[in-house]
Chain A
């Protein structure tokens, strides 16, 4: 588990920035677009005791992570082999000052209204392609706060996903103490001189 990596992600999820983001959303009249239950496949698994995220926050993070990490990663999450939302919950529980920030960011992502999506529904209720459109809109927005939200979500999702040993097989990473890998990394490259 990389502390530096978590610090990197949470640096973007700055509490003050999210407070301002939440305020800006309210000021723009972007009212909540749905408050129903979350889809069953996104809900926290039975037995998981959330320490920082709400059940909806967990579901929102899980849904966003599945789109952010790509198809194979999403399959690993869907199958239960990887649970980045649970990892994020555990990390943020150790950082009380950031708990509210992440909660607010997830609230904005879940209930914000995005012009790029025709139907006004919570993020967790959207089809995958619509979720991609929402994330793409955040990423390329002219609004600084929306881009900050994307950056924070992406960083935390990537870290929560790729810090878990179960992700290594997806990316050909043998883990930190692989003797053969180290030897190859330190060997000459053809033509490198």
Chain B
């Protein structure tokens, strides 16, 4: 089951955990349904630094609008803001911080709190319910439980994709598959698209480079009143005060409400034993928020000795510093909203009971491995688009340099992170590339 839904990895140099969808429908099946339009600042950077001169808001707008409609994106209304989200809103309001409900791609949300587990009510309009059926109606054939191993190129033109068929558990190869095609679009995600290109000896020196994440940590707070943060949309409200997109010039992180489901809460709370158990016994009174940091770090995807993607990513000092600042700001927000305790994501620290207690946190060495959980919430790069062949894998339309008929069309071809949850930008860019191919 795991292999059919999620892929997990770690960056050995930092212990950072990395997740990606690995099922039909990809990460849209296991994401939190959040929708943001591509930020103008990001597109401007892609134009000025990476030569993607056609990628401006006007050019992308028709594709963004089409995505927005197709997946049913709309701002979360008040009826779908759970107490978890409202506490974030309350703290932000009292502090005078910019904040807003996020748009989500749902139709008929039942508030189950299971968005990121495939949404059993079928409300979330993931690719599995939108683009995939549309493709099938157009004649596409879906081959699940298959892993692309190599792309065959002949005389500078793509010829075929070789894949292995996997058993139902997703772990054991039970057969081979070869698909011949005049055009191949690789959209295997930020771990596997570069991995596939590298295994195939394609992509040139930039293959696997310019990897970038949105780094993430959780902060949990206890309130006197029940929150029941395990119900309702898993994510719905954002503090944008510290963002550096959409006209803001903050340090570059968002704070978003996130569900207090038992398992993920238990894993992310610091420490173990009796103190951890006491915190878990307060689960109905816990609220949680997550940092979405627009990293400056750059990492790399390479191939391990087993031919599988191997990630190198060690947050640079400025990212560690901004993560620390984000954690502190969340703690302050929660105290402003009336929290009685805030569980900081550092294993050896006791919960803070007031802003004064945060001094302990300020003094603490803030290293990735001292955190209870540091993970990559969104992944970008590894097969980046660019105007210069020596610094990119694809041209500005996603076509691989030097291989006719081969394209990359997922977040791996983004030259940098986006500062916001990226599914709309990924889909819109895919439509743009599809149009260029057609």
**Cβ-based interface call for B321 (8 A):** no
Residues of B within 8 A of A (CB): 1-10, 12, 15, 17-19, 30, 79-84, 86-87, 89-90, 93, 111-114, 116-117, 169-172, 225-232, 261-264, 266-267, 271-274, 276-278, 280-281, 283-284, 304, 310, 338, 347-348, 369-370, 373, 375
The listed residue (A3, A97, A147) touching B171 by CB distance below 8 A is A97
CA distance A67 to B273 in the complex (A): 6
* Given contacts A16-B12, A144-B369, A192-B90, A185 and B273 within 8 Å (CB-CB): no
CB–CB B1/A1 < 8 A: yes
Q: Could you jot down 14 A-B contacts, CB within 8 Å? A: A2-B117, A4-B19, A5-B263, A10-B2, A11-B19, A94-B169, A132-B273, A135-B272, A171-B281, A172-B284, A176-B114, A185-B82, A189-B87, A191-B90
CB–CB B232/A185 < 8 A: yes
CA distance A158 to B403 in the complex (A): 47
CA distance A112 to B2 in the complex (A): 30
Bitwise, A7-32 to B at CB < 8 A (1) or not (0) is 11111101011001000000000000
**Cβ-based interface call for A95 (8 A):** yes
Q: How far is the CB of B112 from chain A (nearest CB, A)?
A: 6
**Cβ-based interface call for A36 (8 A):** no
The listed residue (A4, A154, A176) touching B6 by CB distance below 8 A is A4
Identify the 4 closest CB pairs spanning chains A and B, nearest first. Answer: A70-B277, A11-B8, A185-B228, A185-B231
CB–CB A182/B348 < 8 A: no
CB–CB B348/A140 < 8 A: yes
**Cβ-based interface call for A161 (8 A):** yes
Q: How far is the CB of A27 from chain B (nearest CB, A)?
A: 17
- Please give 10 more A-B residue pairs, beta carbons under 8 A apart, in addition to A140-B348, A182-B112: A4-B116, A11-B18, A14-B12, A72-B277, A95-B2, A95-B171, A158-B267, A176-B113, A192-B87, A193-B90
Interface on chain B toward A: helix, strand, loop, or mixed SS? mixed
CB–CB A8/B283 < 8 A: no
CA distance A11 to B171 in the complex (A): 16
Q: How far is the CB of A43 from chain B (nearest CB, A)?
A: 23
CA distance A3 to B348 in the complex (A): 28
* Given contacts A6-B2, A144-B369, A172-B284, A68 and B10 within 8 Å (CB-CB): no
* Given contacts A2-B263, A4-B6, A68-B276, A187 and B83 within 8 Å (CB-CB): yes
CA distance A84 to B236 in the complex (A): 32
Using Cβ atoms and an 8 Å threshold, which residues of chain A touch B348? 139-140
* Given contacts A181-B228, A185-B229, A5 and B10 within 8 Å (CB-CB): no
Which one, A53-61, A103-111, A118-126, A162-170, is touching chain B?
A: A162-170
**Cβ-based interface call for A44 (8 A):** no
Using Cβ atoms and an 8 Å threshold, which residues of chain B touch A68? 272-273, 276
- Chain A, residue nearest B348 (CB): A140
Using Cβ atoms and an 8 Å threshold, which residues of chain B touch A159? 263, 266-267
Interface on chain A toward B: helix, strand, loop, or mixed SS? helix
The listed residue (B9, B19, B117, B272) touching A139 by CB distance below 8 A is B272
CA distance A168 to B5 in the complex (A): 25
- Chain B, residue nearest A96 (CB): B171
CB–CB B280/A171 < 8 A: yes
The listed residue (A4, A9, A186) touching B80 by CB distance below 8 A is A186
CA distance A140 to B271 in the complex (A): 10
CA distance A13 to B170 in the complex (A): 18
CB–CB A140/B347 < 8 A: yes
**Cβ-based interface call for A115 (8 A):** no
The listed residue (B113, B227, B264, B276) touching A5 by CB distance below 8 A is B264
CB–CB A9/B267 < 8 A: yes
CA distance A8 to B19 in the complex (A): 7
CB–CB A189/B83 < 8 A: yes
Using Cβ atoms and an 8 Å threshold, which residues of chain B touch A4? 5-6, 19, 30, 116-117, 264
Using Cβ atoms and an 8 Å threshold, which residues of chain A touch B228? 181-182, 184-185
Q: How far is the CB of A59 from chain B (nearest CB, A)?
A: 19
CB–CB A7/B266 < 8 A: no
Using Cβ atoms and an 8 Å threshold, which residues of chain B touch A161? 266
CB–CB A154/B272 < 8 A: yes
**Cβ-based interface call for A47 (8 A):** no
Q: How far is the CB of A130 from chain B (nearest CB, A)?
A: 13
Q: How far is the CB of B244 from chain A (nearest CB, A)?
A: 28
CB–CB B266/A10 < 8 A: no
Q: How far is the CB of A172 from chain B (nearest CB, A)?
A: 5
A159, A172, A191 — most chain B CB neighbours (10 Å): A172
CB–CB B90/A158 < 8 A: no
- Chain A, residue nearest B121 (CB): A177
* Given contacts A8-B375, A12-B15, A184-B228, A170 and B280 within 8 Å (CB-CB): yes
- Chain A, residue nearest B230 (CB): A173
The listed residue (B90, B117, B266) touching A189 by CB distance below 8 A is B90
